[in-house]
Structure 1
Amino acid sequence: MPPAALPAGARPRQALARWTGIAAIGLAALGVDTPARAGTWGLCDAPAPISATDQDRMLRFAAVVKQVLDASGQRVALISRSGLDLSRFGVRYSHAGLALRPDAAKPWSVRQLYYTCDESRPRLFDQGIPGFLMGRDDPSQGYVSIVLLPAPQSDALERTALDQRTALELLAADYSANAYPFSTRYQNCNQWVAELMASAWAPAGSADRAGSTQPSPRERAQAWLRSEGFRPEPIGLGSHGVLFAAHFAPLVHVDDHPRDDLYALQMRVSLPTSLETFVHGRLPGAERIELCHDRRKIVVRRGWQALGPGCEAGPQDDSIPLDP
């Protein structure tokens, strides 16, 4: 059965969107004890329930995110959120999608790639902003990054994202949380977004440079990304033990990564920062808005300078109190 899209507004019972390969490898290296189910180390288990207070805080945070999107006047944005604490790898954001609102009478939703655990396959899924933000491990603090695009690129990306045939053609049959960006063997959630952007922005005829007489849509997208300077920074694994653990981590693969990278104890993986760096360098008119919350406040920052740890507001940031 070919990859397919989950119906808009549906909620998969067991779906995996918050894990990156770095997260899974990190869990293996740290020996994190999670309940095993179907060989997935608990990565496909239902998320732990959160308190009513935490849920209320996250819903209020989601409302501010929607207000920021509404105020932008746009119908599409690149949106990323934090998930598992990956600070030891220098990673804040783990999962990206496209926030879409083609009809002003309807709410914003995020089109994204999920790994559906029940079916053991990747699917595309439209999810409301609150649900998108609920996919975090720590409800007491979280970060969201929104990138707004200039009109020509924004319009092209919206058309491509809403074209179900194109979106599904770019969806790989096999998922790997740490998929190598320039191989079609696997795919992760952020790489699907990267290839969708490529399909939207590549000029007609650029597919002829993909190095194949009949390149697939994914090959064409990856060839354009490479030619345009899409270069995800290597993630240092730190030790041979981490690399060894990767061979046994569920939903993680190493057979698509260049051998030289593995010998150097690093992996190049598409992360939200990879997408944002590419957009920032290619589209000078792109704007970035970063939001965070802790138990006391929400902070909103406009500009490409990232918020620091601890969700502390700077002099130019907006700070919105959260009632205890």
Structure 2
Amino acid sequence: MKEFKYCLLGLIILFSTTAQAGTTCTQNQFKPELFINASRSALAIQKDLNRSAATVALIARVGSNLQKYGLHYSHIGFAVKNYPGRPGQWTVLHLLNECGTTNSSLYAQGLMNFFMDNLYSMDYQIMIPDTATQNKVKTMLMPDTVKQMHNSHYNMIAYPFSAKYQNSNQWILEVIAISLNPNTPHSHTAAQHYLLKTGYRPSLIHINPMEKIGASMFNKHIAFDDHPFAEQKSHNFSTVTVISIENYLKKRNVLQKIINK
């Protein structure tokens, strides 16, 4: 019975992450406290970004308690200064799963809206790449190219080296990969090949058999069929996380500054 309780707890944690890790699902009513907290976070981030003189940064948030998986930040987006049609503002570009479906879309939101979901905490992380990388990424994020690396077939636990699905953080990573190697074709296969060649290491998430069955049965946007047999057998699944993106940028020596709050 004790073992069953732990499995059930794992299922609850896994399912709860789906609502906040990169989806449009929300049962949240706009309470004054949420508005105030989101405003504070947005203003603090805006101040940090303006002080840095950056034009492109990465912002991560904490949608759910992922301590069970050894993770803190769950979802990441690009923050872009003076995005077309939004002069003088910071715009967050990120990928979200359309609630209750296997599809995703790209969203452009203000800093405050990025924190208006029912988040586990208002902790955030800012990663500021070096100037050269910022410029390359910004080119990829312009309206005529921003969708080139988007795969609308969403899977929260997508395998990083397969073009079958894509999760929110994987879109960010693939945009970075193509930006760092601009002469390569703008394709998922090319981005993933470059990531493998340059030493990207995904996070390994352990999902036991009961959690896996429950996740597949009750969540359209969780699938495991893109993962290699070895991962299916070990129940350790590779996926793109915020910390794996941070580690890759550090490995490539293209990070100028990291701010954790």
- Other-structure match for 1:96: 76
- Other-structure match for 1:261: 231
Asked whether the equivalents of residues 41 and 122 of structure 2 are also in contact (C-alpha less than 8 Å), the reply is no
Cα deviation per residue 1:180-236 (whole Å; 9 max; x = unaligned)?
Answer: 1000000011000111011111152x55xxxxxxxx711111111111111112112
- Other-structure match for 2:3: none
Distance 2:151 2:8 in 1: 24
Asked whether the equivalents of residues 15 and 215 of structure 2 are also in contact (C-alpha less than 8 Å), the reply is no
The correspondence of residues 184-203 of structure 1 with structure 2, limited to 5 A, is: 184-203=163-182
- Other-structure match for 1:145: 125
Distance 2:126 2:13 in 1: 34
Distance 2:167 2:24 in 1: 16
Q: CA deviation at 1:33?
A: 9.1
Cα deviation per residue 1:234-288 (whole Å; 9 max; x = unaligned)?
Answer: 1122x32122223214110000011101211111110111111100111255210
Distance 1:263 1:69 in 2: 44
Asked whether the equivalents of residues 95 and 168 of structure 2 are also in contact (C-alpha less than 8 Å), the reply is yes
The alignment's C-alpha RMSD in Å is 2.6
Distance 1:31 1:145 in 2: 22
Q: CA deviation at 1:120?
A: 5.5
Q: 1:117 to 1:135 in 2, by over 3 A?
A: same
SS in 1 for 2:153: coil
Task: State the number of aligned residues.
Answer: 246
- Other-structure match for 1:320: none
Cα deviation per residue 1:8-35 (whole Å; 9 max; x = unaligned)?
Answer: xxxxxxxxxxxxxxxxx9977238999x
The correspondence of residues 50-61 of structure 1 with structure 2, limited to 5 A, is: 50-61=30-41
For 2:243, give the aligned amino acid: T
Q: 1:53 to 1:76 in 2, by over 3 A?
A: same
Asked whether the equivalents of residues 280 and 286 of structure 1 are also in contact (C-alpha less than 8 Å), the reply is no
- Other-structure match for 2:114: 132
- Other-structure match for 2:93: 111
- Other-structure match for 2:161: 182
- Other-structure match for 1:168: 147
Which consecutive residues of structure 2, in runs of 5 or more, have no partner in the other structure?
A: 1-6, 17-22
Cα deviation per residue 1:57-110 (whole Å; 9 max; x = unaligned)?
Answer: 331222111110111101100111110111111111111110001369421110
Distance 1:84 1:274 in 2: 17
TM-score when normalising by structure 1? 0.69
Distance 2:27 2:117 in 1: 8
The correspondence of residues 222-241 of structure 1 with structure 2, limited to 5 A, is: 222-237=192-207, 239-241=208-210
- Other-structure match for 1:22: none
Q: CA deviation at 1:136?
A: 3.5
SS in 1 for 2:65: strand
TM-score when normalising by structure 2? 0.85
User: What percentage of aligned pairs have identical amino acids?
Assistant: 24
